[in-house]
Amino acid sequence: MTETWGLLDKSQSDSQKIDNAISEAIADHESDPEAHLGEGDSLQSHKASEIIDHLARSVYTDKFAYDRFQFLTNFESVDSWSKTVGSILYGVGDFTIFANLAQGRENYAHLFHREYFEDFGPCEANGFFDSVLYCHATDNFVAYFGFVGVDDLSGGMQCGAGFKVVNGAVYGAYNDDGIAETVVDLDYSLDDGYHRFQIEIKDSVCSWYIDEVLKYTCSSSDFVYTNTFAGYYIKNTAGAGRITVVRLCYEQDLPSSA
């Protein structure tokens, strides 16, 4: 007599058929949300890949989120920016802010939001700042960039949150009392080349990233309101300095009414 293996009992003490036991195990595996997420497993490797490849033309615009105010610029124009005169060079792909040889020279460029965003700036609306830039010197200059009102930083950051660079050392900076900036050492020093700087505010928590590595987090619930989407500032303390910015992405929640 020929036995069908899948129709046999699992064991002398378990009458469940082998085929049924296999089907049940597969169903349990398919419904497990943690399946294949272990180190080296397929989904974890896919998630961690630097590049997730798909067929050309396979991602449609209806898959993008439209519940956030967002823009991405490669600086085709900086006409809408508030900026110091004669200190900016730009073309498609980048802009550069100079601080010339006159000691103590300050230059800046920043974007204000329009009046219908009043009282709904990045600190209140889950703002996200993402910029790639190059500080061409690591000595003798001070720089700020992020959610920073940059027209007067001689006394420190007055509102918002951003990165502060002093002679090549990078700090997180914010103001939560309207009086003095708070500065946090991010244990990072600039070298030659471009780096990616990100600030994310989500559910009243602010996070600072450099080259996609989390450097610091703190509560943003008391941050002083800023009406600046993005700002860049440089001041030389000796010699000349410049910052070249090649990418800016900004996002925040939409206001409830215009």
- The answer to whether residues 17 and 92 belong to one domain is no
Name the 3-class secondary structure at 77. Answer: coil
Q: Does the residue 238 lie in any domain?
A: yes
Number of domains in the chain: 2
Same domain, residue pair 30 and 147: no
Contact in structure between 207 and 214 (CB atoms under 8 Å) = yes
**Of residues 122, 117, 110, the one with CA closest to residue 224:** 122
Q: Which pLDDT tens digit goes with each residue over 210-237?
A: 999 999 999 988 888 777 788 888 887 7
pLDDT grade for 1, boundaries at 50, 70 and 90: very low
DSSP structural state of residue 254? P
Closest CA to 225 of 157, 154, 164: 157
Whether 56 is covered by a domain: the verdict is: no
Q: What is the DSSP letter of 181?
A: -
Residues of the domain holding 32: 5-48
Backbone angles phi, psi at 46, to 5 degrees: -65, -45
pLDDT band at 43 (very low <50, low <70, confident <90, very high): low
